[in-house]
Amino acid sequence: NAGVTQTPKFQVLKTGQSMTLQCAQDMNHEYMSWYRQDPGMGLRLIHYSVGAGITDQGEVPNGYNVSRSTTEDFPLRLLSAAPSQTSVYFCASSFGKAKGQETQYFGPGTRLLVL
Amino acid sequence: EDQVTQSPEALRLQEGESSSLNCSYTVSGLRGLFWYRQDPGKGPEFLFTLYSAGEEKEKERLKATLTKKESFLHITAPKPEDSATYLCAVQPYGGATNKLIFGTGTLLAVQP
């Protein structure tokens, strides 16, 4: 199993540009999440999904959009990039909500720089 | 408001010098507490899950413990390869189980 994969590894955008960060998992996990990590602030939840077709907002959803058309993929869209979205983005997945199944496994991250 | 505070922010140890990292949490109801290790430029790597006060988990030189207000990650006789940032996260009751609240981490450096 490849686990959780993310592309691209690094991206530079200009203010106002849009892009999609890709996330895929091959572990048949129902739950997937997107976090951003900024210095001194820890990981913060952007959006999450509890299954195909079901998404919800996390702590910092503004400026981001998600969809979940398949179990495997959970792309994150930046609609109009702003310098405040410069960050490292991590995708995570977990099997389910039962005790012992809720552990989240993280991808390698995408570093995004918005100029 | 649910909150996680980790201390110290940074810790420098000599190889073999044991110590503990602290994770204090405030949550309406704790479903689970998670410890992760993060190496520079990498994603967090899962270490432990703790569910109830008094519970302990061990893995090699690491032992995690849990009380009603905090968790400790004890590192016994650390080696340079234990150098990393250690993250603590809580999963509150209510809502989806993939909503974790993270602390800002402890940066551990183990010198040979």
How distant is the alpha carbon of residue B94 from its chain centre?
Answer: 22
Span B47-85, pLDDT tens digits: 999 999 999 999 999 999 999 999 999 999 999 999 999
Give contacts of B46 with chain A, Cβ < 8 Å: 103-106
- What DSSP element (H or E) covers A34? strand A31-38
pLDDT for the residue numbered B98: 76
Query: Would you say residue B95 has pLDDT above 80?
Result: no
Residue pairs spanning A and B at CB distance below 8 A = 68
Tokens of A21: 């960060």
Mean pLDDT to the nearest integer, B19-33: 95
Residue B76's closest CA among B23, B21, B38?
Answer: B21
pLDDT at B97 over 90: no
Higher pLDDT, residue B95 or A76: A76
Q: In the prediction, which pLDDT does A41 show?
A: 87
Q: What is the mean pLDDT of residues B20-35?
A: 95
In order along its 115 residues, chain A shows pLDDT tens digits of: 789 999 999 999 999 999 999 999 999 999 999 999 999 888 999 999 999 999 999 999 999 999 999 999 999 999 999 999 999 999 999 998 888 888 999 999 999 999 9
Contacts for B55 with CB less than 8 Å, ≥ 6 apart: B65, B66
Lookup result for tokens 């994969």: A5
What does the alpha-carbon distance between residue A10 and residue B27 come to, in Å, rounded to a whole number? 35
* Chain A nearest CA to B110, separation (Å): 21
State the Cα–Cα distance between residues B112 and B110, nearest whole angstrom: 7
C-alpha gyration radius of chain A: 13
Task: Find out whether B2 and B33 touch, Cβ atoms under 8 Å.
Answer: no
Burial call B5-28: b when 16+ CB within 10 Å, e when fewer = ebeeeebebeeeeeeebebebebe
Phi, psi of B45 (to 5 degrees): -115, 125
Whether pLDDT at B88 is above 80: yes
pLDDT of res. A97? 81
Residue of B nearest to A96 (CA): B97
Interface residue ranges in chain B relative to chain A, Cβ cutoff 8 Å: 4, 31-32, 34, 36, 41-46, 49, 51, 87, 89, 91, 96-100, 102-105
Question: For the residues B31-51, what does the mean pLDDT come to?
Answer: 97
CA distance A16 to A25: 29
CB contact under 8 A, B43 and A103: no
The pLDDT of B3-31, averaged and rounded, is 96
